[in-house]
Amino acid sequence: VNGNISADPLFCDPVNDDYHIFNTSPCAPDQQPTCGLIGALGVACNQTIFHVQPNGQGDYATIQAAIDAAPVSAIIELADGIYTGNGNRDIDFHGKAIRVRSQSGNPAACIVDCEGSAAYEHRGFRFTSGEGASSILEGVTIRNGHIRDGGGIYCYSSSPTILGCVLFHNEATQYGGAISCENGASPLISGCTITENGASEGGGGIECYDSSSPQIENTIISFSMAQEAVHCAASSSAT
């Protein structure tokens, strides 16, 4: 509003007290030609951007291959289309502080179709290596997951950021039709639409289990095929 911004400044290495910024930072002079550098320290590192296409003709053939190659703070941009098959489902961030996002910002046009079933169990994404808020999934649809826990997304001892995503028609044979949060998982789920998902035992939309505490904001959870929109158990809570 009125020229102000609210965005991640993309520091080079804040864990080690390096508060210079990446070349793609919204605070960098190239991104702010009118006012120039925002903040005390200038550009000192470059951000890698990989492009992935559903036909395999991007920088890497699959989403997983791009994640495996990505350095810290990389952005993986997904072209519009439907992503299927191995490498485009059961996707693991491997603990990396990276951003996977649709290039268009339109989840209706950028779809991860898990093609899961009782015979062939698959989900969209899993965060099981201590991912934090800088591990970001943004602007994609995840559909047709079918697995024991977390039909669309599974978070275990991890707290990623899930922004502007659609989770549609995913199923869990136990808990968390769309998203399962377990063992202290505390993801931020913001601006998402979670609809027509289901679970057999709890959390048709979102399951919170074993001291997990997700933060859910500006999000629609509707028309669960089975079980609750949000279910919390074993010292868990959702905000």
Phi, psi at 29, each rounded to 5°: -55, -35
Tell me which long-range contacts 13-22 makes (C-beta under 8 A, separation of at least 24): 13/45, 18/44, 20/44, 20/45, 21/45, 22/46, 22/47, 22/73
Tokens 């910002």: give the residue. 105
Beta bridge partners of 43: 21
d(CA 193, CA 121): 23
Segment 100-143, tens digit of pLDDT: 999 999 999 999 999 999 999 999 999 999 999 989 999 999 99
Segment 69-97, tens digit of pLDDT: 998 889 999 999 999 999 999 999 999 98
d(CA 88, CA 125): 9
CB–CB of 145/117 below 8 Å? no
Record the pTM.
0.87
d(CA 149, CA 174): 6
How does residue 34 score in pLDDT terms, banded at 50, 70 and 90? Answer: confident
